[in-house]
Amino acid sequence: MFENSERTDIAELGEFGLIKHLTDNFKIKHESSIKGVGDDAAVLNFENKEVLISTDLLLEGIHFDLAYVPLMHLGYKAIQVNLSDIYAMNGIATQVTFSIGLSSKFPLEAVEEIYKGVQLACDKFNIDLIGGDTSASKQGLVISVTSIGYAEKKDVVYRNGAQEGDLLCVSGDLGGAYVGLQILEREKQIFLENPNIQPDLEGKDYIIERQLKPEGRRDIVDLLGQMKIVPTSMIDVSDGLASEILHICQQSEKGCTLYEEKLPIDPMTYETARELGLDPTVCALNGGEDYELLFTIKQADYEKLKHDVDISIIGHITDKNSGCKMVSKSNVVHELKAQGWNAFKL
């Protein structure tokens, strides 16, 4: 990467020059951002709202592989996955900080690419970049993002509010990001064995995008607001649907019944999983990185969203003693287990 293109040594700019160079193009959009980049701390004012804060740490070789992740996508995704946590609280994200540890092999042009992705995500989702930190790294690229947002106190949705009889809903479709990752991994292996072979990603755009360019579901938060639905519980699908359902059930002290036939799986995800010898249902349950919203609603709210094609009702909440179950397409009841994606299983 960047072998044949222009390379400017970061040392030429110095730390302060670099920060100024990277952040100069970012304009403040929100009244709540009183002071952004440029002082010892940013200053925010949310008046009487609840303030939501979430942080992620992304490490090269653990969370991303620069062999197939373009740097602009990495910047974009780092912001999106973090905003997703604010949306999962039913909040509106307004600010981010972006911190970066750079190995010496990184030229200025590479950092600029990352920041292009950051700016794209910030512009598209109406977010202010209000600070960060910059350091050298000996262990490859390190990125940390903190997002800040707000909600009215009555609108904040936690993981622990699900009640018996509530409907279990999920936005979008599941498993695509995982199957997309399997394709990228396959093409990387082929490339390592024979660098003359170009990656064959034809016809796989949707699932590759699901992996490389996920989007937080702010639109679902807006939609729920318009429908006047406050979910009883909510979480974003980062580790896999099964794992997230279990979080909601454990924290709410409830059980659930999930129906395999109701799982939303895109046809490209389904066919590609089959091609790779994977079970599409397992990909949807345990794949992870979908960044969809999983939430529960009262039955009384069903009428309001039953026609929305972007929301699937996949099950319901039961009492704790019934446990967490999945009814398969052939009507066999399985216990729901989470494999989840776990960075500690190396």
Residues of this chain that bind ligand ADP (CB under 6 A): 19, 22-23, 37-40, 98-100, 129, 131-134
Task: Compare residues 31 and 40 and give the one whose CB is closer to ligand ADP.
Answer: 40
Distances in Å between the alpha carbon of 209 and those of 69, 116, 166, 183, 340?
11, 17, 32, 12, 21
Closest contact distance (angstroms) between CB of 18 and ligand ADP is 8
Report d(CA 119, CA 25) in Å as an integer.
Answer: 8
Task: Compare residues 98 and 106 and give the one whose CB is closer to ligand ADP.
Answer: 98
Closest contact distance (angstroms) between CB of 14 and Mg ion is 13
Report d(CA 340, CA 241) in Å as an integer.
Answer: 8
Is residue 15 a contact point for Mg ion (CB under 5 A)?
Answer: no
With CB cut-offs between 5 and 8 Å by kind, which of Mg ion, ligand ADP, none does residue 98 bind? ligand ADP
Closest contact distance (angstroms) between CB of 119 and Mg ion is 20
Task: Compare residues 33 and 286 and give the one whose CB is closer to ligand ADP.
Answer: 33
Taking Cα atoms as reference points, which of 280, 272, 266 lies closest to residue 328? 280
Report d(CA 277, CA 330) in Å as an integer.
Answer: 20
Contact between 106 and 163 (Cβ < 8 Å): no
Closest contact distance (angstroms) between CB of 324 and Mg ion is 44
Closest contact distance (angstroms) between CB of 111 and ligand ADP is 9
Task: Compare residues 39 and 335 and give the one whose CB is closer to ligand ADP.
Answer: 39
Helix, strand, or coil (residue 318): strand
Is residue 133 a contact point for Mg ion (CB under 5 A)?
Answer: yes
Cα 323 from chain centroid (whole Å) = 28
Taking Cα atoms as reference points, which of 266, 86, 262, 85 lies closest to residue 175? 266
Task: Compare residues 145 and 256 and give the one whose CB is closer to ligand ADP.
Answer: 145
Contact between 293 and 234 (Cβ < 8 Å): yes
Is residue 253 a contact point for Mg ion (CB under 5 A)?
Answer: no
Helix, strand, or coil (residue 290): coil
With CB cut-offs between 5 and 8 Å by kind, which of Mg ion, ligand ADP, none does residue 40 bind? ligand ADP
Report d(CA 51, CA 103) in Å as an integer.
Answer: 34
Task: Compare residues 130 and 242 and give the one whose CB is closer to ligand ADP.
Answer: 130
Looking at 131-139, 164-172, 250-258, 335-343, which segment touches Mg ion (CB under 5 A)?
A: 131-139
Closest contact distance (angstroms) between CB of 13 and ligand ADP is 13
Amino acid (1-letter code) at residue 136: A
